Amino acid sequence: MSEITRENVVREARERNVKFIRLWFTDILGTLKSFAITIDELEDALDGGMGFDGSSITGFNAIEESDMIAMPDISTFKIIPWSPKDAPTARMICDVRTPEGDPYVGDPRYVLRRALERAHEMGFDNFYCGPELEFFYFKDSSAPEPLDYGSYFDLTTLDAATALRRDTVLALQELGIDVEYSHHEVGVSQHEIDLRYDDALSMADAVMTYKTVVKEIATQHGVYATFMPKPIQNQNGSGMHTHQSLFSNGRNAFFDPDDEYFLSETAKQFIAGQLRHAREISIIFAQYVNSYKRLVPGYEAPVYIAWSRRNRSALVRVPLYHPGKEQATRVELRCPDPAANIYLCFAALLHAGLEGIEKGYELPEPMERNLYHLTHEEREKLGIQSLPEDLGEAIKEAENSELLHKTLGDHVYNRLLQLKREEFEEYRVQVTPYELQRYLPVL
């Protein structure tokens, strides 16, 4: 494969008759933002970036300091598969900068870059992530009306979305994104496409692309795809189980052949860090009011803060070691949902794990019992805490979190808390159909 250079990008764009290039970046909530430039502007964009008004981007600067620069990352140049074949459109993911050329502190991609710098300073070459994003297909966006009533691993005829998943996988492959699995999930009309693990920044870019592709292919088929965490009341919500590992000098820093769990001290401290800080970073991996409708007992979403090897009711699971697969040693955090801002999510998970390593947190014994079957008193006796029950509780945890402040920096931390307080207050004063149905006839 030839080296990716500015000249190679320009050459490929012209040889393939690209007419437009869409520049992508994300706002503070992880919503994809984009604007297009023509091929004639490409070289200038690669040299100095393209200016835009940041005052209308959620969580960015106020109007009096709104000038921003979108600086394309040349490694992300890809032809968009569904654009016209004779005059295609390409996309490039951007870092956001200030007019002076400095990284913009409100850019979620920069927040993740800073987390990776901390890992490098601690001697880790790579932080690998492999998220499993679940989603639903509905007939349209007006109501959660399923396309099928299949369940886990079901195939035709119950699985009406086989063609949608197939076309989605093919589009992802055209974009250079490796796919491992594609299948029907537990919920009706719920699906999952798993991406092959990659370094955290590349994977975060891939997730943003993945979510766009899933929605675009669904639209082409006349249906609607959603990553809403809990769209159907009595069905499982959509999770984003996230596999993680740290590498140092090309070797998996989580593996120890002499440990009873085959986990190094580094791995144990990393897990302990994520467990200890789970409540205060929940506002990142479960950022919406609806996220906490998913995080309830009985629907496979983990609520209780513990770790295990086989027990999927725990917050962190360590997949069993197979001889010869030392490099695959990893930890799986099961609480994030796919509506999270993926850049902030990876950054928060990494910082929490590194905090455990840096401060030598001690990992408790694994909890192999089904945590849902324990009583509140039993869990309390075992010292097992729960995740916040709603966004309001998550906000209170975040307000007192030094780790989260360090992870996000002043700007993102303060803007995010402001947005989440507004969201929860708006939600809190709603009078719901449930309340009207339950109370109006009797009170």
HEC sequence for the chain: CCCCCHHHHHHHHHHCCCCEEEEEEECCCCCEEEEEEEHHHHHHHHHHCEEEEHHHCCCCCCHHHCEEEEEECHHHCEECCCCCCCCCEEEEEEEEECCCCCECCCCHHHHHHHHHHHHHHCCCCEEEEEEEEEEEEECCCCCCCECCCCCCCCCCCCCCCHHHHHHHHHHHHHCCCCEEEEEECCCCCEEEEEECCEEHHHHHHHHHHHHHHHHHHHHHCCCEEECCCCCCCCCCCCCEEEEEEEEECCEECCECCCCCCCECHHHHHHHHHHHHCCCCCHHHHCCCCCHHHHCCCCCCCCCEEEEECCCCCEEEECCCCCCCCHHHCCEEECCCCCCCCHHHHHHHHHHHHHHHHHHCCCCCCCCCCCHHHCCHHHHHHCCCCECCCCHHHHHHHHHCCHHHHHHHHHHHHHHHHHHHHHHHHHHHCCCCHHHHHHHCCCC
Of the CATH numbers 3.40.50.300, 3.50.50.60, 3.30.590.10, 3.30.450.20, which one belongs to the domain with range 113-413?
Answer: 3.30.590.10
- Is the separation of the CB atoms in 286 and 337 below 8 Å? yes
How would residue 61 be classed by pLDDT, with cut points 50, 70 and 90? low
- Is the separation of the CB atoms in 95 and 71 below 8 Å? yes
* Interacting residues of 80 by C-beta distance below 8 A, sequence separation 6+: 22, 88, 89, 90, 91, 175
Of 27, 97, 109, 134, catalytic: 134
- Is the separation of the CB atoms in 179 and 169 below 8 Å? yes
* Known catalytic residue at 317: no
Distance CA 340, CA 284 (A): 6
Of 312, 322, 428, 438, catalytic: 312
How would residue 67 be classed by pLDDT, with cut points 50, 70 and 90? confident
* Known catalytic residue at 435: no
Q: Which residues, listed in sequence order, are joined to residue 326 by a DSSP beta bridge?
A: none
Of 107, 159, 205, 332, catalytic: 332
* Known catalytic residue at 362: no
* Interacting residues of 108 by C-beta distance below 8 A, sequence separation 6+: 26, 27, 28, 30, 341, 343, 344, 347, 412
* Known catalytic residue at 334: yes
Q: Which amino acid is located at 318 in the chain?
A: V
- Note the pLDDT of residue 186: 81
- Note the pLDDT of residue 1: 45
- Note the pLDDT of residue 58: 77
pLDDT of 146 strictly over 60: yes
* Known catalytic residue at 41: no
Residue range 21-38: mean pLDDT, rounded: 95
How would residue 407 be classed by pLDDT, with cut points 50, 70 and 90? very high
Residue range 123-146: mean pLDDT, rounded: 94
pLDDT of 404 strictly over 60: yes
Helices 342-359 and 402-428, interaxial angle, to 10°? 140
Which carries the bigger pLDDT value, residue 360 or residue 6? Answer: 360
Global confidence as pTM? 0.94
Per-chain mean pLDDT for the chain:
91
Of 294, 330, 334, 415, catalytic: 334
* Residue 331 structure tokens: 């930890």
- Is the separation of the CB atoms in 146 and 189 below 8 Å? yes
- Note the pLDDT of residue 352: 98
* Residue 399 structure tokens: 């307000």
Residue range 146-162: mean pLDDT, rounded: 71
Of 185, 194, 198, 256, catalytic: 185
φ, ψ (nearest 5 deg) of residue 259: -85, 145
Distance CA 343, CA 126 (A): 15
- Note the pLDDT of residue 184: 85
Pairing of the two strands 314-317 and 304-308: parallel
The number of CA neighbours under 13 Å toward the Cβ of 189 is 19
pLDDT of 64 strictly over 60: no
Q: Which CATH class is domain 6-97?
A: alpha beta
The number of CA neighbours under 13 Å toward the Cβ of 260 is 3
* Known catalytic residue at 53: yes
C-alpha separations of 248 from 245, 309, 332 in Å: 10, 24, 19
pLDDT of 253 strictly over 90: yes
- Note the pLDDT of residue 106: 93
- Note the pLDDT of residue 319: 82
- Note the pLDDT of residue 2: 58
Of 27, 107, 132, 256, catalytic: 132
Site of tokens 């040299």: 47
pLDDT, tens only, 343-385: 999 999 999 999 999 999 999 988 877 777 777 888 888 888 8
How would residue 322 be classed by pLDDT, with cut points 50, 70 and 90? low
pLDDT, tens only, 187-246: 888 999 999 999 999 999 999 999 999 999 999 999 999 999 999 998 889 999 999 999
* Known catalytic residue at 185: yes
Q: Which amino acid is located at 356 in the chain?
A: G
Based on the number of CB atoms within 10 Å of its own CB, is 139 exposed (0-12), middle (13-18) or buried (19 or more)? middle
Quickly count: other Cβ atoms within 10 Å of residue 314's Cβ: 26
Percent of the chain with pLDDT over 70: 95
Cα 413–chain centre separation: 18
Of 107, 148, 167, 192, catalytic: 192
- Is the separation of the CB atoms in 22 and 36 below 8 Å? yes
Of 241, 294, 317, 351, catalytic: 241
Nearest to 95 by CA among 81, 113, 78: 113
- Every domain of the chain with CATH number 3.30.590.10 lies at 113-413
Quickly count: other Cβ atoms within 10 Å of residue 78's Cβ: 16
